[in-house]
Amino acid sequence: MGRAAVLTTTPLIIRGSGALDTMRGWTPEYVSERLGEREVPVAIADPDGAFRYNTAAREGLRYEPMRGSRLATEFRDTASGRRLSMQQMSIPNALVELRDELAVPPYIPTDVITDINLWMASESSSTPLHYDNMNNLFAQLDGRKKFVLFNPSQSDLLYPGPLDIRTRHLSTVDLSDPDLERFPKFAQAEYWEAVVLPGDLLFIPAFWWHQVSAPDISVSVNYWWRADVRDCTCPSYFRQLYLDLVIEDVRGLFVTHDLRALGNGSAALLTLAEQTIGHGEAGVAARLCGGVIVAAAKDTCTELGIAPAGGIDDAFAELEKRGAWSAEDADAARRGLALAVAAGPDRSVPAPDVQKIIDRLRSSTLNWEHPARVGGDRP
C-alpha cells in the first residue's frame, strides 16, 4: 500500500485474500488446542456485551486468567451470558505456539510493522468507539466482524475522551445508545459500515475512528505499522501532540510514526513543527520544540555525566555553567520551553514566536539523532 493521507482516503476491504492461507484453520478450537494448559488474560465485557474502558482500573478492562484449553468452550458458552475477548495478544511475543503459521500479507511495508496480534471475541460483543494512531490491516479468520467507521475529520463530533495517554483515543459517545443531549454534535456525524468474513482483509488508515462488534464468535489477526507522519495531519494527531509526554519524551514519536522522510532526530521534529504551523497549529509546533529542547538537554547531561539535583531549569543552568551550551543556546532553550508550556489545546501561542524558536534551534547546538529502531513484532 502506498502513501495515503488519512483525511482523503477511505478504508478498503480485500475479499477472500489468499494471503491468509496458512492461518485459515485458526478456529477457537484450534487456538485452544495449540495453547494447551498455558494461561492467557481474557477480558470480561459488561452484561450487554460491551467492553467499556474503566479509567479507575489499572488495565482499563476487567481481565481474568484462562487456560488455553478452555478458550473455545468458554467463548462458545452463550448460556452463561458472559461475553469474553482475548485482546491484542502479540503472536510473535506472547503466542509463540502460532508463530510458525503466521503470514504477513504482501500489502504491508514490513520494515515499519510494530505489532501483529491475535483477537478472539464472543458473539454479541463490541468495543468502544476509538482510533489507533497507526495503520491497521485487519485479517478475519473465523466468524464475522462488523465495523462502524468515521473519518478523522469528524473527530470533534465524536467527543474524544480526556487528553491523557489512556483515554484520548476513546470516544465518550456510546454508539449503542447515543445521548444527543450530552453530545449534540454527534447527530451530524456520518459513518461507514463494513462486515468482514473469513478470508477478508480490512485496511483501516491511522486515526480513523472505528467501533468493532462480533455477530459470531470470532478469531482475527491485525497488523499495525507506522504511518508516514506527513499523512497524519488530522485533528486527533494534532490533539495528542499536546500530551505532556511529547515534551517529556519526544523520541516516542519515532516509535509510533514514520518520520524518515523529514530527516532524523531534532531535524525531523523541527521540520514537522514548521509543517504544523502551516496547518494553523502553532501550539503543536511549540510543544514539539519543547520536546526537542528537553531531549537535547537530557542527551547532553548523560554524555557529561551530569545529574542535576533540580528540574530542567537546573539542567539548563548546569549545561551553561560547564560550557556545554552557549548563553545564546541556553536562552533559546528557556524561551522555547516557556512557549511550549504555555501552549495547550485551548491556549494559542503566536505563530511568529514559534517560528523564531524553530529558527534558533536549527542554528543552535541543541541537536540529536534518533537511533535506528531495531526489532518490532515481526515474524
End-to-end alpha carbon distance in the chain = 19
Q: What is the pLDDT of residue 379?
A: 39
- Span 3-11, average pLDDT: 83
pLDDT digits (tens, 9 = 90+) for 297-348: 999 999 999 887 778 888 999 999 999 999 999 999 999 999 999 999 989 9
Question: The C-alpha cell of 357 is what?
Answer: 524558536
Amino acid identity for residue 7 in this structure: L
pTM value is: 0.92
Question: Is the pLDDT confidence value at 4 over 90?
Answer: no
**Which segments of the chain does DSSP mark as H helices, in order?**
28-35, 71-76, 91-94, 235-240, 244-248, 253-256, 265-278, 282-304, 312-321, 327-342, 351-362
Amino acid identity for residue 174 in this structure: D
Report the mean per-residue pLDDT for the chain.
Answer: 92
